[in-house]
Amino acid sequence: MKRKSVLFLISFCFVLLLAACGGGSASTSSENNGEKITIKFGHVLAPDHPYNLAAEKFKEALESNSPQEVQVEIFHSAQLGSERELTEGLQLGTVDIAIAPGTISSFEPKMGVLDLPYIFRDREHAYKVLDGEIGKELAADLPSSDLRLLSYWENGFRQITNSQKPINTPADVKGVKLRVPENGIYVDTFKEWGANVTTMAFGELYTALQQKAVDGQENPLALIYTNKFYEAQEYLSLTGHFYGPAQVIISEKKWKSLSPEMQEAVQSAADEARDFERQLLKDKDEEYLENLKAEGMKVNEVDVEAFQEASKPVWEKYSSEFGDLIDRIQAVE
């Protein structure tokens, strides 16, 4: 009798184990069974920067039009880490969506072609390239790195600020200690112009400017103003040397966990926020410029043709890496 009881208990436990295993294989993730979805959206810039305002637009659009309950949690000002840490978080699945343009070419080298100095004639040219076949082609292999492009938002055209002198030509850049992001093309460009280049994380930049560890930096007007670089920089030179797309990336793990209907809603919200953010930056650039002047910055135009000519060796250096992409981008009308 005792032996039968033991056998019964063993059999009962085995049935429970099978049920548990079977239940696990048959069930779907919470993202697909109607439960509430949480999306962690991170970036490194200030709460009043257009990145964050557009992230709020994304949140509003998705939460209003999602086929199931969803909550978007926005983390600005590097609360989830630097751009590299955000990108690594996307790969691990600890971050769901991030804006991390400074690191994306490390994971997809072809994206680097977008960083070449003066590769885009103007904003409209950039939009046609990014939203067209070339933009899709550049992002096609990202899922193999556990990343997926949602859309190209905008960081804007980058300008040089410094505490030493106005910069009118590449010759004026010579010897100026400038911080640039950890980006090979950016570094090569400023070295070609004669700058004393240093790289550091964006989160360290304000303090470095304030303490005179570097003379200057280069970034779009929105970032210069919203991060109050005018407090440590006297000169703003409108070089417009790099156009910065802002790749909005979703974790491939998160993407695959979503139903097709939810994927469509996320993509739609990202595109709606892209259009909002681009227009916002375009509209506010003039306002940022006037505000920077009001804060005491001395603003000057530059000899753009001289900078373009001085950039040719950089294009030549990377021509073999990017192949016909450079010509194809230039050919887009």
The whole-number pLDDT of residue 123 equals 96
Dist CA 331 CA 77 (whole Å):
37
Q: Given this model, what pLDDT does residue 31 score? A: 52
**Residue 160 CA to its chain's centroid (Å):** 20
User: What's the pLDDT score for residue 27?
Assistant: 33
Enumerate residues 6+ apart whose C-beta is below 8 A from 329: 113, 119, 120, 129, 134
Outline where 41-130 has alpha helix (H).
50-65, 83-92, 104-107, 123-130
Tokens of 230: 């005018």
The pLDDT of residue 9: 43
For the chain, which residues score pLDDT lower than 70?
Answer: 1-34
Q: What is the DSSP string of 266-322?
A: HHHHHHHHHHHHHHHHHHHHHHHHHHHHHTT-EEEE--HHHHHHHTHHHHHHHHHHH
Per-residue pLDDT reduced to its tens digit, 225-253 = 989 999 999 999 999 999 999 999 999 99
DSSP codes joined into one string, 198-258: EE--GGGHHHHHHTTSSSEEEEEHHHHHHTTGGGT--EEEE----EEEEEEEEEHHHHHHS
Give residue 151's pLDDT: 97
Shortest CA distance to 47 belongs to which of 76, 22, 86, 21? 76
**Stated pTM of the model:** 0.84
What was the pLDDT predicted at 88?
A: 96
Q: Angle 123-130/260-294 helices, nearest 10 degrees?
A: 160
